[in-house]
Chains A and B, each alone.
Chain A
Amino acid sequence: MSNSANGAALPRAAGLGSIFDARQQVSEAVSAGLKRRYAREKRFRLYGMLATLFAVAVLGILLFTIIRTGLPAFTQTMIKLSVTLYPQEIDPKGDRDPQTLSSADYQRLVRDALDDYFPDVTSRNDRRELFAMISPGATYVIRSMVIADPSLIGKRIEIEVPLKDDIDQFAKGKIDSEADQANRRVSDKQIGWYQRLVDRDLIVSRFNTTLFTAGDSRSPELAGIWGAVVGSFWTMSLTLLMSFPLAVGAAVYLEEFAPKNRWTDVIEVNINNLAAVPSIVFGLLGLAVFIGFFGVPRSSPMVGALVLTLMTLPIIIIASRAALKSVPPSIREAALGVGASKMQATLHHVLPLAMPGMLTGTILGMAHALGETAPLLMIGMVAFIVDVPSGPLSSATVMPVQIYLWSDAPERAFIERASAAIMVLLGFLTVMNLLAVALRKRFEKRW
């Protein structure tokens, strides 16, 4: 432009005129297109908002269904029983031998108590149906009370014991009493007896502590998630113990010490690919290698942790390498510049600065592992395990597998327990993610 303005060949006025014309044109073009540009921007924002709304709505629906299904599992319908602990039934010899106390026929006492409520139910079939309304857990309740305090023998005790899951479901309104009797799991007679119990104020609804203290059970009213929680705890602890040091070590070596050559490139590509391997493949590998070859006990938290370590390792390595990369090179130079060795520079300065990122990656990897089911199916953690696992080598299951098992069960009551377990699992995951955010916020250092 300066050329045309200064150029001797062009008359000065004409040169300036053409510049004005050009400016006019540009300004017109800008104002003509402006409206369309803004409209486009508005549309784009709208799409973004709709997408966000859709995501939030779907999440809301998911949470709503889970909570609506799972909430009833936190209460359990109980029956008040008045049980007479006849000495001749429990301890005929009267020596309070623990062996005798634990093997006594407490079921009979429960039946006696029920007979007291329903003296009119006499036929064999009817009585069987009547007794089926009470959970087998009732006898355990009485037994443990007697063993804890043998002086109760001979007295009459008032206790609350759980009703069988079908009656519980009926009490919660999950079973339609209008439906044909053959199509529901509660008979007309049982409904009648239940109504009589309600009328006599003998039915109460209590917080379901069993859900949080018991292991799995065939009877839904006796089943709890504690076994799975403890199994998850052992599995996760071992996974963390194995994967964190390994992954951080690998990341530090690859990022700080390893020469950049074809071999490290191959390793890097492989690690990245490992993160994308379907998790069931890790399960098969665990089955073949850890159980088949090394003989780690099947369905133990140990073998689960080994498999999950393989799975989370690439995730943590990738996150840790990114964290190391984000430490500015000036920090390394500063340390090396005062004469720190490579290792001192890394341990004293780079690693502490990368730690929040590494921990965040680790927690996210652990959260991923906590929700993992597929590889654990392969190594037997899907087994029906009643006992709360006592250590890393005892049989165990984990929360997501427990959810899988329960949602597969035919009993209705297990469905709501599965949802309750999902709520607990989501709670754990939320806490872990919040922890990751908090760590990032807390240790983030400016440089």
Chain B
Amino acid sequence: MIAMQATTGRATDAAASPVPAFMTRDVCVFYGQKQALTNVSLDIHRNQVTSLIGPSGCGKSTYLRCLNRMNDIIDGCRVTGSILLDGQDIYSGSMDVVHLRARVGMVFQKPNPFPKSIFENVAYGPRIHGIAKDKTELEAIVHNSLEKAGLLAEVKDRMDQPGTGLSGGQQQRLCIARAIAVQPEVILMDEPCSALDPIATARIEELIDELREHFAIVIVTHSMQQAARVSQRTGFFHLGILVETGDTEQIFTNPRDKRTQDYITGRFG
């Protein structure tokens, strides 16, 4: 296994479509002494959904959280390698973390709306970044974002009610609206449907497919069906290494690596 890591850990992304949004090379992550990710190299393309699959604890969430430096808030976390957003190293001194997170939005596993009104939830991002010039512009952004998140019809009569009062699926779409309100280039989704019922999940999946038109999307998921349904490209993580990446269709029909095949056929994980 260790010997294999050395060879397959460097599985790089061969498909070279126009300039990728994210170009990551040899990313290693350490929590204190423990190494969580080893030499991950992966490209994230625009207008595509990239799904990251793998068994629990394989490092896919860790990798995702490197992309907007969410790992910064974890004590003792250290990242090496290069992560380039439009050619700019996000861990270099010239990239401000606040600016980065405005460009790379995130949707979390558990819907986490602010305990404020629906309007305030979506308006928060544009407001702190000073994107809207006045109130009408802010309202336009909020409406637009809710519309894109497919939530506007359901909430337009109760914008001043708490976002926490919505159903789980609505809350998650509210979180997506909140993320897209700041017009990011990339949206990271960390198992966005794991706390939702199948109907709400289907809505989110539809939404992801629509959002692909405007954003690059990276989604971590435990559901291989979901990965197959929503993504164009897939990366398979195992024990902290990126085992295989490729077009989703190829990964699910014709995996090159034995471990990938074992995983997608349900033999482990």
Give the interface size class of chain A.
20 to 34
> Is A341 touching B112 in the complex (CB atoms < 8 A)?
no
A334 at the interface (CB under 8 A from B): yes
Interface of A is mostly: helix
Q: From residue 122 to 151 of chain B, which have CB atoms closer than 8 A to chain A?
A: 124-125, 128-129
Report, as a range, how many residues of chain B touch the other chain.
20 to 34
**How far, in Å, is B69 (CB) from chain A's closest CB?**
9
Partner of B112, one of A331, A339, A445, A446: A331
The yes or no answer to A146 lying at the interface (CB within 8 A) is: no
User: A260 contacts the other chain (Cβ, under 8 Å)?
Assistant: yes
B202 at the interface (CB under 8 A from A): no
Collect the chain B residues with CB atoms within 8 Å of residue A339's CB: 98-102, 125, 128-129, 182
Contact partner of A334 (CB less than 8 A), chosen from B73, B99, B108, B129, is B108
Tell yes or no: B19 within 8 A of A by CB: no
Once bound together, how far apart are the Cα atoms of A340 and B102, in whole Å?
A: 8
Interface: B70 (CB within 8 A): yes
What 1/0 mask marks residues of chain B from 53 to 80 whose CB sits below 8 Å from any chain A CB?
Answer: 0000000000000001010010100000
A-B contact count (CB 8 A): 69
Asked if B106 CB lies within 8 Å of chain A CBs, one says yes
> A337's contact among B75, B99, B106, B164, by CB below 8 Å, is which?
B106
List which A99-158 residues lie within 8 A (CB) of chain B: none
- CB of A334 within 8 A of CB of B175, answer yes
| 0/1 interface trace, chain A 322-337, chain B, CB 8 Å (1 if under) | 0000001011111111
The answer to whether B108 and A335 have CB atoms under 8 Å apart is no
With known contacts A260-B75, A330-B108, A337–B101 Cβ distance under 8 A: yes
Q: By the criterion CB–CB under 8 Å, are A340 and B98 in contact?
A: yes
Asked if B114 is an interface residue, CB under 8 A from chain A, the answer is yes
Contacts of B246 in A (CB 8 A): none
Contact (A334, B112) CB under 8 Å given A339-B125, A344-B128, A447-B164: yes
Q: Does A338 contact B (CB under 8 A)?
A: yes
Q: Are A334 and B68 in contact (CB under 8 A)?
A: no
B105 near A337 (CB under 8 angstroms)? yes
* A333-B108 in contact given A338-B125, A339-B99, A339-B101 (Cβ < 8 Å): yes
> What are 21 A-to-B residue pairs whose CB atoms are below 8 Å?
A330-B110, A333-B106, A333-B108, A334-B108, A334-B112, A334-B113, A334-B114, A336-B70, A337-B107, A338-B124, A338-B128, A339-B100, A339-B101, A339-B102, A339-B182, A340-B98, A340-B124, A344-B128, A348-B128, A353-B115, A445-B115
Binding site for A on B (CB under 8 A): 68, 70, 73, 75, 98-102, 105-108, 110, 112-115, 124-125, 128-129, 164, 175, 178-179, 181-182
On A, residues with C-beta under 8 Å from B are 259-260, 328, 330-341, 344, 348-349, 353, 445-447
> Would you list the 10 A-B pairs with minimal beta carbon distance, nearest first?
A339-B102, A338-B125, A330-B112, A337-B106, A339-B101, A445-B115, A334-B112, A341-B98, A447-B115, A339-B98
